[in-house]
Structure 1
Amino acid sequence: MVTSLLVVIVVLALIFDYTNGFHDAANSIATIVSTKVLTPFQAVLMAAVFNFAAYFFIKDHKVANTVSKIVLAHYVTLHVILAGLIAAISWNLITWWFGIPSSSSHTLIGGFAGAGMTNALYMGANALHAIEMQYVLTIIAYIVLAPFIGLFIAYIITILILNICKRARPATAERWFKRLQLISAAALSFAHGGNDAQKVMGILYVTLIAAKVILPGSPMPDWIPLACYTAIAAGTMSGGWKIVKTMGSKITKVTPLEGVSAETAGAVTLFITERFGIPVSTTHTITGSIIGVGLTKRVSAVRWGVTLNLVWAWIITIPISALIAAGIFALLHVIG
C-alpha cells in the first residue's frame, strides 16, 4: 500500500512540476513574444532549454531545503503530501483556465501547509504547531517584497539604459535591444527553472522520508533533481498562452528595451533569492519588474485595474490552496 501511494505521489509531484512550467511559461517568454523578438514556439523552446540548463549548474538546492521544512516532520505523512499536491495542481489549472498569473510556488506551499495543519488537528494539536513559522512568515513577506524588488531593479535599469542610449538612433537601438532580449529572457528562464524546480524537489525529498525510503538528513537522491528539471522544462514547452497575453500586454505595453530591463530585473531578483534559499514567486517577481518599466514612462502607463486583480489573486492563493488541501485531506482521512 505504501509503495503504491509513494508511486502515485511521485507521479503527481512531477505532474505538478509540469503544470508549474506550463502555468509559468508566461513569466519567461511573455515580454519576448509581445515584442515579437521570437515567435511563441521559438520562445517556449528557448525557455525550456534554459529551464533544464539550471540542472547542470545549481547544486546546493537551498530552496528545496526550505520547502521541505515548511511542515514539521512529526505531522508529515504521505496523505498530507498527496492532499497538498492535488490542491496545488487543481488551483494551478483553475488559474490557468482563467488566465490569472498566480504563483505556482505559493499554491504548492499553501497546499502542503494546509494539509499539514489539518493533520495536526486530527492528531489533537494546534494547527499552527504543524508549520515552521520562520519559513512561512518569510515566504509571506516575499509575496510583497519580491515584486517590489523586481519593480525597483527594473526601474533603475530602465532609467540607466535610457540615459546611456539617449543619443542612439531609435532603429539601431531597437535592433540591439532585440538581440539583448534573447540574453535577458534566457537568464530569466534559467533563474525560473533553478528556483521553481527546487520546490518540487523539496516535496519529493520529504515524501521519501515519510515513506521511510531514506533517513532524515540523507543526501537527496540524484534522480529527484533530474526528474524535476525535466518535468518543468516539458511543461514550459507546452506554453500557457492565456497568461502570456496578460503578462505581455495587459499590464503595460512593452518595448524591446523595456523587455530587457524587466527580464534582467526578474532574473537578478530570482538569483538573489535562490542564493538565500527563499522560495519566491517567479510570477510576482516578473510582474513587479514589468510594472517597474511601465512607471519609467508615467504612472498611468500601468493598467492598475489589471494589476490590482493580479494582487488579489496573489493574496488568496495560499489560503485557498490550504483550504482545498484541508478538504482533500479530510476526505482521505474518512476514506482511510
Structure 2
Amino acid sequence: MVTTLLVVVVILAVLFDYINGFHDAANSIATVVSTKVLSPFQAVLWAALFNFAAYFYFDDHKVANTVAKTVVENFITMHVVLAGLVAAITWNLFTWYYGIPSSSSHTLIGGFAGAGITYALLNGHTPMEALNLGYVFKILSFIVLAPIIGMIISVIITLIIVNLSRWSKPATAEKWFKRLQLVSSAALSFAHGGNDAQKVMGIIYVALVASNVISSEDHMPEWVPIVCYSAIAFGTMSGGWRIVKTMGSRITKVTALEGVGAETAGAITLGITEHFAIPVSTTHTITGSIIGVGLTKRVSAVRWGVTINLVWAWILTIPVSAILAGLVYLVINMFL
C-alpha cells in the first residue's frame, strides 16, 4: 500500500512541478514577449532551456531542505504529503484559469503545512507543534520582503541604465536593450528554475523518508533533481498565456529598457534568497520588480487597482491552500 501511495505522491509532485512551470512561465517571459523581443513560442523555449540549465549549478539543494523542514518530521505521513499536493495543484489550476499570478511556492508550502496541522489536531496535538516555526517565519516574512527587495533593486538598476544611456540615440539604445533582454530573461529563468524546482524536490524527499525508502540522514537520490528540473522546464514550454497578459501589460507598460531592469532585479533577488536557503515566490519577486520600473517613470504609471488584487491573491494563497489541504486530508483519512 505504501509503495503504491508513494508512486502516486511522486507522480502528483512531478505534475505540480509541471503546472508550476506553465503557471510561472509568465514570470520569465512576460516582459520579453510584451516588448516583442521574442515571439511567445521562442520565449517559452528560451525560458525552459535556462530553467533546466539551473540543474547543473544549484547542487546544494538548500531551498529544498527548508521546504522539507517546514513541518516537523514526526507529523509527516504519506497522507499529509498527498493532501498537501492535491490542495496545491487545485489552487494552482484555479489561479491559472483566472489569470491570477499567485505563488506556486506558497501554495505548495501552505498545503503541506495545512495537512500537517490537521494531522496534529486529529492526534491530540496543538497546531504549532506540527510546524518548525523558524522556517515558517522565514517563509512568511519574505512574502513581504521579496517583492520589496525586487522593487528597490529594479528602481536602482533602471535609474542607472537611464543615466548611462542618456546621450544615446533612441533607436540604437532600443536595439541594445532588446539584446540585453535576452540575457536578463535568461538569468531570471535560470534563477526561477533553481529556486522553484527545489521546492518540489523537498516534498519528494520527505515522501521518501515518510515511506521508509530512505532515512532523514540520507542524501537526496540523484533522480529527484533531474526529474524536477525536467518537469518545470517542460511546464514552462507549455506556457501560461493568461498570466503573461497580466504580468506583461496590466501592471504597467514595459519597454525593453524596463524589461532589462525588472528581469535583472528579479534574478538578483532570487539569487540572494537561494543563497540564504529562503524559498521565495518568483511571482512576488518579479511583480515587485515590474512595479519598481513603473515607479521610475511616475507613481501613476503603475495600475494600482490590478496590483492590489494581486496582493490579495498573495495574502490568501497560504491560508486557502492550508484549509483546502486540511479538508483533503480529512477525506483521504476516511478512505485510505
TM-score band, normalised by shorter chain: over 0.9
Measured against aligned partners, the alpha-carbon deviations of 1:211-253 in whole angstroms (never above 9, x if no partner) come to 0000112011000000000000000000000000000000000
Aligned to 1:10: 10
Cα shift at 1:256: 0.2
Is 1:201 paired with 2:201?
Answer: yes
**Which letter does structure 2 place at the counterpart of 1:55?**
Y
User: Equivalent residue for 1:66?
Assistant: 66
* Residue of structure 1 in register with 2:331 after alignment: 331
**Aligned AA for 1:232?**
I
Residue matched to 1:124: 124
Residues 38-49 of structure 1 mapped to structure 2, 5 A cutoff: 38-49=38-49
Partner of 1:315: 315
Report the secondary structure of 1:252's partner residue: coil
1:162 maps to what in 2? 162
Structure 2 residue aligned with 1:83: 83
Per the TM alignment, residue 201 of structure 1 is displaced from its structure 2 partner at its CA by 0.3
Q: CA deviation at 1:127?
A: 1.2
Deviation string 1:121-147 (CA, Å, 9 cap, x unpaired) is 111000111011111111110000000
CA distance in 1, matches of 2:130, 2:272: 29
Please show how residues 26-45 of structure 1 align to structure 2 within 5 Å: 26-45=26-45
* Secondary structure of 1:7 counterpart: helix
| Structure-2 separation of matches of 1:252 and 1:68 | 36
- 2:88 counterpart letter in structure 1: A
Counterpart-to-counterpart distance in 2, 1:230 and 1:82: 21
Specify the alignment match of 1:113 in structure 2. 113
- Post-superposition CA distance 1:144-172 (Å, at most 9, x none): 00000000000000011111110100000
Q: Secondary structure at the match of 2:23?
A: helix
Q: Is 1:284 aligned to residue 284 of structure 2? A: yes
**CA distance in 2: counterparts of 1:317 and 1:217, whole angstroms:** 32
Q: Which residue of 2 aligns with 1:251?
A: 251
Q: CA deviation at 1:328?
A: 0.3
Counterpart CA distance in 2 for 1:162 and 1:10 is 47
| Correspondence list, 1:215-226, <5 A | 215-226=215-226
CA distance in structure 2 between the partners assigned to 1:332 and 1:314 by the alignment: 27
Instruction: For 1:21, give the aligned amino acid.
Output: G
What is the distance in 2 between the residues matched to 1:224 and 1:44? 23
- Counterpart CA distance in 1 for 2:160 and 2:71 is 43
1:179-238 deviation line (CA, Å, top 9, x unaligned): 000000000000000000000000000000000000112011000000000000000000
SS of aligned partner of 1:58: coil
Which amino acid in the other structure matches residue 181 of structure 1? Q
- Unaligned regions of 5+ residues in structure 1, if any? none
- Code of the aligned partner of 1:104: S
Q: Give the distance between the partners of 1:75 and 1:215, measured in 2 at CA.
A: 15
1:98 corresponding residue in structure 2: 98
Q: Which amino acid aligns with 2:73?
A: A
For residues 27-85 of structure 1, the C-alpha deviation after alignment (integer angstroms, 9 at most, x for no partner) is 00000000000000000000000000001111001000000000000000000000000
Give the structure 1 partner of residue 264 of structure 2: 264
Q: Residue type of the partner of 1:157? A: I
Name the counterpart of 1:211. 211
Aligned equivalents of 2:264 and 2:129: distance in 1? 39
Which amino acid is the alignment partner of residue 266 of structure 1?
Answer: G
2:100 maps to amino acid: I
Match for 2:328: what amino acid? I
The reply to whether residue 50 of structure 1 matches residue 75 of structure 2 is: no
- Aligned CA-pair RMSD: 0.4
Runs of 4+ in 1 over 3 A off after TM superposition: none
* Structure-1 separation of matches of 2:272 and 2:213: 33
The residue identity in structure 1 corresponding to 2:169 is R
Return the letter of the residue paired with 2:170: P
**Alignment correspondent of 2:143:** 143
Distance in 2 (alpha carbons) for counterparts of 1:124 and 1:202: 27
The letter of the residue matching 2:212 is: K
Identity among equivalent positions (%) equals: 70
Aligned to 1:183: 183
